Structure 1
Amino acid sequence: MKILVSAMETSSNVHLKELKKYLSNDIEFVGVFDKELGKPLYDLTNLAIMGFVDALKKIRFFFRLRDELVELAKDCDKVLLLDSSGFNLPLAKKLRETYPNKEIIYYILPQAWAWKKGRVKVLEQTCSKLCSILPFEKDIYNDKEKITYVGHPLLDEIKEFKHELTNSGKIVFMPGSRKTEITNLMPIFKELIKKIPNKEYILVIPPKFGDEYIKKTYGDVSNFTVSKNAHEALSQAEYAFICSGTATLEAALIGTPFTLSYIAKKLDFFIGKTFVKLNFVGLANIFFEKMGKEKLHSEFLQSDVTVENLLSDYNSMDKYKFFENSKILRQYLKNGSSQNVASVIEN
């Protein structure tokens, strides 16, 4: 079986790699994905975008890429779209127009529950099957047979969950994977470690970054122990300071207390605040709100991201309460998603 794949985010490809373990060996991927999974059209590093402004700069390229993928789909049995709604929704529309009977599966759905609820109609009209990784997501869809909660991929990918609080003396710092995130947070993290003495400071850096890029983007990291394995670092740490994103949910599931911080470009933050009507940005907090519970962790955004605020949160957090709540979060998400999605694709 040949499957057209559009997986443009680093996190999507982590999920895709886990999914592939459950697929038959005769399944071939074509399209956009990590080169470890086959022969993609483009290197993923050329596709990375940061915010609305960057997306506008690359719009011509993405129109051309969409057309290339539609052409490739002609010889494919099915289509698998992962996340990246800004690109994958228009792609789904074009695919449905071109191939009315082609099976289109969407895994890691657009966050229509957060904003742009009109996307629900588009998804239901263009996709054959919708694989949801959020328990509450199906509530906003009309076609209940088309959407299925398949579990959450992180419960497949995280190999070790804490069974007790750790006093390891290790603190993890995760300033994100995009250049702007890193350059915004690293100066603050470097000052913060001066206020938390006698600890080992673990800096998690994505494996794809080479030494030259690290030196240019992160600056002097001599006061940190560098790790390129986020899950291992988090499982060993007693605390973490993390940029908003998937990593916050990983820490919450593993059971490592943390503080979320995020500094976006001012225009991107203004647009996001205007259109996204959510009380929290961290997924774990959003889940707890859906369950009718208090937030799991603190969130500091924009000008509130200061050494003083992060240090105060570190000193005042009820770490035992956080740890107990992390168990509730795992129960809420129930199980991993990879095997279930593989069944959807092959059935």
Structure 2
Amino acid sequence: MTSQPRPGPAVFISAGEASGDQHGAAVAREIRRELPDVRLFGIGGRELEAAGVSRIAGLDELSVMGGTEVLRRLPGFFRLQRRIEGLFVTEDVRLLLPIDYPGLNLRLARSARRQGRRVLYYIAPQVWAWREGRARKLQRDCDRVLTVLPFEGPLLERYGVRTEFVGHPLLDAPRSRAAAARDRAAPGVRMTDSRRVIGLFPGSRAQEVRFMLPVFAEAARQLARRHQDLDFLVARPPHLPKSLYAGAGFPTAGAREVTERSWAALTKSGTITLELALAGVPMVVGYRTGGLEWAIGRRLVRIPSIVLVNLVAEAPVVPEFLQDRLTAERVAAELEGLLGERAAGRREMLRAFDVVRERLGDPGCAARVASHAIELLARDQESPGRLGTPC
């Protein structure tokens, strides 16, 4: 009787947000390049699916913000967790690759560890900002944690977490023509297009957009009345409906396109600030959430800024307006100071972005993450009996 060929190893990639979907897809392609017979499963968005990952849930099922919304959707998350844990068994998943998104991913890491599976956490939860107790969970349940910000490793290692800095995945993205043109332009040299685009980035979650977009849009209208050469473009992730943006009165496009076309930006906090910095787009950051979430977060957060650019630069490079301080008048006035090519604030910010770019490491992040994944899979095959102990 002819024996059936043994299936390739199974990897589960868990990405709960648009950025994780993008970065996970890059890693999935690198893993498959090295292991053509690998079986990839996961939760995430269209990019993971396009990279050959069999999804069991999409971003629309995972996108939440704030404590009250999380509580409302907890039953659905628990059902999803049980489905994933069942798939771990039926598909004999040997490696879990969680990407940020700690609410669900830390629970999945706990389950995977208890089942004797490898866990490679990519893009560490921001325990340096709040809830440092999560670091102990990372130490307990992860074989390794791959960090993308230079200051994260030393903070996590204080808790015994095995870490490695792999550089930031944004460095793998090709520089846009618009960004290259901005880099080449000498002070005082105007772009050939007489109109300038201001990008509005209100977030990748529906609740973020509801909180931020009305303020961002009003700031844009105020600037439009004072500057006739400005156009405004709103970044809309594909998993959010167009109807959510109808009241703003401005066209929408994907975040990548908006970034490439922007002369300056008004944005929420998060990874998007690093994307804009790497593209050479000066920005102002605004953030607002529900009153309860803000009150809780203000007690927990222990960092001087919520803007990643400022944390990497170790300086207040980008102005930020939080909660009640986020008004259309304030952010419009701050943005106005970044519009002129000779504006001191604009030139100083662009110089600081060069420092940020240097501190984020070298390109090739996805390949380095895939190398760690393949190494752990190989260790699994060599000594499956030792999976319960982090390596």
Distance 1:276 1:145 in 2: 21
> Hey, what does 1:248 align to over in structure 2?
273
> Hey, what does 1:202 align to over in structure 2?
233
Deviation at 1:250, TM superposition (A): 0.9
Moved more, 103-112 or 243-252: 243-252
> Hey, what does 1:157 align to over in structure 2?
173
* Residue identity in the other structure for 2:361: K
Moved more, 161-170 or 317-326: 161-170
> Hey, what does 2:325 align to over in structure 1?
304
> Hey, what does 1:270 align to over in structure 2?
295
Equivalent position to 2:115, from 58, 74, 98: 98
- Does the Cα contact within 8 Å between 2:213 and 2:248 map onto a contact in 1? no
SS in 1 for 2:199: strand
Normalising by structure 2, we get a TM-score of 0.80
Normalising by structure 1, we get a TM-score of 0.89
Higher Cα radius of gyration = 2
* Residue identity in the other structure for 1:270: A
Residue identity (%): 28
Equivalent position to 2:98, from 76, 81, 86: 81
SS in 1 for 2:54: coil
* Residue identity in the other structure for 1:4: F
- Does the Cα contact within 8 Å between 1:239 and 1:256 map onto a contact in 2? yes
- Does the Cα contact within 8 Å between 2:284 and 2:319 map onto a contact in 1? yes
> Hey, what does 1:47 align to over in structure 2?
62
Distance 2:357 2:242 in 1: 34
Distance 2:19 2:262 in 1: 22
Structure 2 CA distance for partners of 1:44 and 1:195, relative to 1, 3 Å:
closer
Superposition pairs for residues 135-284 of structure 1, below 5 Å?
Answer: 135-140=150-155, 141-142=157-158, 146-160=162-176, 161-162=179-180, 163-164=183-184, 167=191, 169-196=196-223, 197-198=227-228, 199-209=230-240, 213-215=241-243, 217-222=244-249, 224-228=250-254, 230-284=255-309
Moved more, 236-245 or 140-149: 140-149
Distance 2:162 2:83 in 1: 27
Size of the aligned set, in residue pairs, is 335
Distance 2:296 2:20 in 1: 24
- Does the Cα contact within 8 Å between 1:138 and 1:144 map onto a contact in 2? no
Deviation at 1:142, TM superposition (A): 4.2
Structure 2 CA distance for partners of 1:184 and 1:77, relative to 1, 3 Å:
closer
* Residue identity in the other structure for 1:303: D
SS in 1 for 2:22: helix
Moved more, 323-332 or 150-159: 150-159
RMSD: 2.1
- Does the Cα contact within 8 Å between 1:6 and 1:80 map onto a contact in 2? yes
SS in 2 for 1:40: strand
Distance 1:221 1:142 in 2: 46
- Does the Cα contact within 8 Å between 1:132 and 1:148 map onto a contact in 2? yes
* Residue identity in the other structure for 2:287: Y
Deviation at 1:143, TM superposition (A): 7.5
- Does the Cα contact within 8 Å between 1:257 and 1:322 map onto a contact in 2? yes
Structure 2 CA distance for partners of 1:145 and 1:56, relative to 1, 3 Å:
closer
Distance 1:279 1:143 in 2: 22
SS in 2 for 1:21: helix
Structure 2 CA distance for partners of 1:221 and 1:303, relative to 1, 3 Å:
closer
- Does the Cα contact within 8 Å between 1:202 and 1:227 map onto a contact in 2? yes
1:115 is aligned to 2:130: yes
SS in 2 for 1:53: helix
Equivalent position to 1:341, from 369, 376, 385: 369
Instruction: Point out where structure 1 has 5 or more consecutive residues left out of the alignment.
Output: none
> Hey, what does 2:26 align to over in structure 1?
18
